[in-house]
Structure 1
């Protein structure tokens, strides 16, 4: 999947701002965070 530089920078900023991104008791990796946010953004676009 190709991600635009602008989107990647936005996601990096969000990830850094959310210092305690956890799922259950484990911290979410940046890669997993990106996958999650892309799905969320796609859902918002289709509404």
Structure 2
């Protein structure tokens, strides 16, 4: 899966923020987080 660098950086920042909030829970890998967020964004369109 290819995404542009701007979207990648946005998702990376979200992922880091989410990881801080989810501390103590099972944490998704960054790759799984990207798949999850892209799926959410596609549903909104």
TM-score (normalised: structure 1) = 0.75
Q: Which structure 2 segments of 5+ residues have no match?
A: none
* Greater fraction helix: 2
RMSD value, Cα: 1.6
Runs of at least 4 residues off by over 3 Å = none
**Number of aligned residue pairs:** 43
* Greater fraction strand: 1
TM-score (normalised: structure 2) = 0.78
Structure with the bigger RCO (C-alpha within 8 Å, sep 6+) is 2
